[in-house]
Chain A
Amino acid sequence: MLALLAILKQYRNSIISFLLLLTALFLMLSVRTDAIGFRMVQEVMLDVLVPLQKLLAIPVRMGQTWERRLQEWRAIDEENQKLRKEMAKLRPQQVYIEELLQENRRLRALLRMNVGPLYREVAARVVGDSSSAFARVLAIDAGKRDGVHNHTPVVGFSGLVGRVVRVGERSALVLTLQDINSRIPVVTQRSRVRGIATGHNSSHLVLEFVPKDADITIDDLVVTSGTGGVFPKGLIVGRVTSISPQGDGLFQAIHVMPAVDFSRIEEVRLLLVSSEPAGAT
């Protein structure tokens, strides 16, 4: 017994390493990561680590804000000089411009369409980005407290970003369109051809299951089709950049460039299903 204990003590580190390695392999191969216990551990870790990331990014954001402000001041100064000169020229047209402005306002109001009466929006800041060779996931500073839940669609200023896959109390992980696990039902805006936009951990998406005879041209706008029940209809996904027939296959290989520039994304909006009835204020 004592000899066994002595052996255990001597090889303690090796035994622990071996057991932990087995645990890691077990986690990878057989445990469903969406099981409640594991999900809770992950959510707690997210809630601890993401605020820390946010804190560490403050100096960078401050520097950026000051740099932007300086550029803006310089631009404003130059613009001010130009405008002073132009104002002298444009004064006679002031009334006409006022008319145009009012018309412009009216048209803008007419065009300002919501995504849908069923959705309300919550803004969030991107605080974590794990662009690695194997995953494309963003961490954001909004969570259950803000009404975010799994599969909440996430959009940027120019189009769809992805969907939420893990939610903490104050933070969440967003699976971007570019991630290899992302599959989004889409339709081309012009010809209404349906397909599935899939991520490949690269800058382009691949439009799958599009028949060879489908009417698709370069630069066609690709939007969400609304099928599948996760994304609302009509969110911009990107534009077709290349089309190539795949030998004897049934489908064509179509590449789509996402509308969102993922390397520069800083803020996102989350589309939450509204509990208020449509049209309520």
Chain B
Amino acid sequence: MTLSMVRSWMPAGTIFLAVVLQNIALPWYFWSVFRPDLLIICLVYWRLYRPDLCGPTLAFLSGIANDVLSGMLLGMSAATQLLTIMVVGHFGTRLRAADFLFLPPLLALLVGLEESLHWVFMSLFQSVPVLWPLFLGRLLATALVAPIVVRLLIRWHRLWLDDLA
């Protein structure tokens, strides 16, 4: 009983781990440009394959945690993560049936949408220049890292959650 409860929290655990990891300080310049959006990868994966364990509340809280750690406007990431899982939930059946090859461009597209929404929200308060190297770097890094992270998530999913109804 307790073990199955702990296991059902695994998606939340991986999502918050992603938030912490993507905001970590590493002493390499490439990390500040090619920083993958691990949060969106985890959210999309769990929303597609375990929507019962990854609902809007989890997306909202992970977004708030991301806002606090990254120093962004409180609520901005929360809103974009919510919109992301709403989009993913809407096209869930079609996305689950899609080939694995579509994963990197799909995630790059979602990150692009998320960053664009951030820019729109920020522009409501002040004029913000778009830093294209960082914008495109995040897209590219997410697309490149996505297959590896998804493989890991599939492995954990099969190991811990396959027999959990």
Chain B CB within 10 A, most for which of A25, A131, A165, A173 = A131
Closest chain B residue, CB of each to CB of A130: B70
Q: Are B72 and A128 in contact (CB under 8 A)?
A: no
Chain A 119-154 interface mask (CB, 8 Å, partner B; 1/0): 000000011111111110111000000000000000
Q: Are B128 and A134 in contact (CB under 8 A)?
A: yes
Is the C-beta of A62 less than 8 angstroms from some C-beta in chain B? Answer: no
Count A/B pairs, Cβ under 8 Å. Answer: 146
Q: Are A24 and B60 in contact (CB under 8 A)?
A: yes
Q: Are A139 and B73 in contact (CB under 8 A)?
A: no
Q: Are A135 and B70 in contact (CB under 8 A)?
A: yes
Is the C-beta of A1 less than 8 angstroms from some C-beta in chain B? Answer: no
Q: Are A130 and B23 in contact (CB under 8 A)?
A: yes
Q: Tell me the bound Cα distance from A243 to B122 in angstroms.
A: 29
User: Which A21-46 residues sit within 8 Å CB-CB of chain B?
Assistant: 21, 23-29, 31, 33, 38, 42, 45-46
Q: Are A33 and B65 in contact (CB under 8 A)?
A: no
Q: Are B82 and A129 in contact (CB under 8 A)?
A: no
Cross-interface CB contact of A20 among B78, B89, B119, cutoff 8 Å: B78
Q: Are B75 and A28 in contact (CB under 8 A)?
A: yes
B116 to chain A, nearest CB (A): 10
Chain B 105-135 interface mask (CB, 8 Å, partner A; 1/0): 0000000000100110110101011110011
Is the C-beta of B63 less than 8 angstroms from some C-beta in chain A? Answer: yes
Q: Tell me the bound Cα distance from A27 to B60 in angstroms.
A: 12
Q: Are A49 and B128 in contact (CB under 8 A)?
A: no
Is the C-beta of B53 less than 8 angstroms from some C-beta in chain A? Answer: no
Contacts of A49 in B (CB 8 A): 16, 19-20, 65, 68-69
B115 to chain A, nearest CB (A): 7
Q: Are B129 and A201 in contact (CB under 8 A)?
A: yes
Q: Are B74 and A263 in contact (CB under 8 A)?
A: no
Segment among A53-61, A188-196, A270-278 that sits at the interface with chain B: A53-61
Q: Tell me the bound Cα distance from A150 to B31 in angstroms.
A: 28
Chain A CB within 10 A, most for which of B20, B118, B121, B138 = B20
Q: Are B55 and A25 in contact (CB under 8 A)?
A: no
Is the C-beta of A9 less than 8 angstroms from some C-beta in chain B? Answer: no
Q: Are A139 and B25 in contact (CB under 8 A)?
A: yes
Is the C-beta of A256 less than 8 angstroms from some C-beta in chain B? Answer: no
Q: Tell me the bound Cα distance from A33 to B82 in angstroms.
A: 20
Contacts of B35 in A (CB 8 A): 131-132
Cross-interface CB contact of B24 among A13, A127, A179, cutoff 8 Å: A127
Q: Are A132 and B65 in contact (CB under 8 A)?
A: no
Closest chain A residue, CB of each to CB of B137: A133
Is the C-beta of B29 less than 8 angstroms from some C-beta in chain A? Answer: yes
Closest chain A residue, CB of each to CB of B135: A133
Q: Are A202 and B131 in contact (CB under 8 A)?
A: yes
Is the C-beta of B76 less than 8 angstroms from some C-beta in chain A? Answer: yes
Contacts of B147 in A (CB 8 A): none
Q: Tell me the bound Cα distance from A128 to B128 in angstroms.
A: 23
Contacts of B75 in A (CB 8 A): 23-28, 31
Q: Tell me the bound Cα distance from A258 to B50 in angstroms.
A: 47
Q: A20-B57, A131-B134 are in contact. Are A38 and B71 (CB under 8 A)?
A: no
Q: Are A20 and B60 in contact (CB under 8 A)?
A: yes
Q: A16-B56, A202-B131 are in contact. Are A24 and B63 (CB under 8 A)?
A: yes
Q: Are A24 and B27 in contact (CB under 8 A)?
A: no
Closest chain B residue, CB of each to CB of A262: B32
A134 to chain B, nearest CB (A): 5
Closest chain B residue, CB of each to CB of A44: B68
User: Which A183-211 residues sit within 8 Å CB-CB of chain B?
Assistant: 200-202
Closest chain B residue, CB of each to CB of A26: B75
Q: Are B25 and A16 in contact (CB under 8 A)?
A: no
Q: A26-B75, A38-B74, A133-B131 are in contact. Are A64 and B27 (CB under 8 A)?
A: yes
Q: Tell me the bound Cα distance from A28 to B131 in angstroms.
A: 22
Residues on B lying within 8 angstroms of A by beta carbon are: 16, 19-21, 23-29, 31-33, 35, 55-57, 59-60, 63-65, 68-76, 78-79, 82-83, 85-86, 89, 115, 118-119, 121-122, 124, 126, 128-131, 134-135, 138
**Which 3 pairs, one residue from A and one from B, show the smallest C-beta to C-beta distance?**
A137-B71, A27-B75, A130-B70
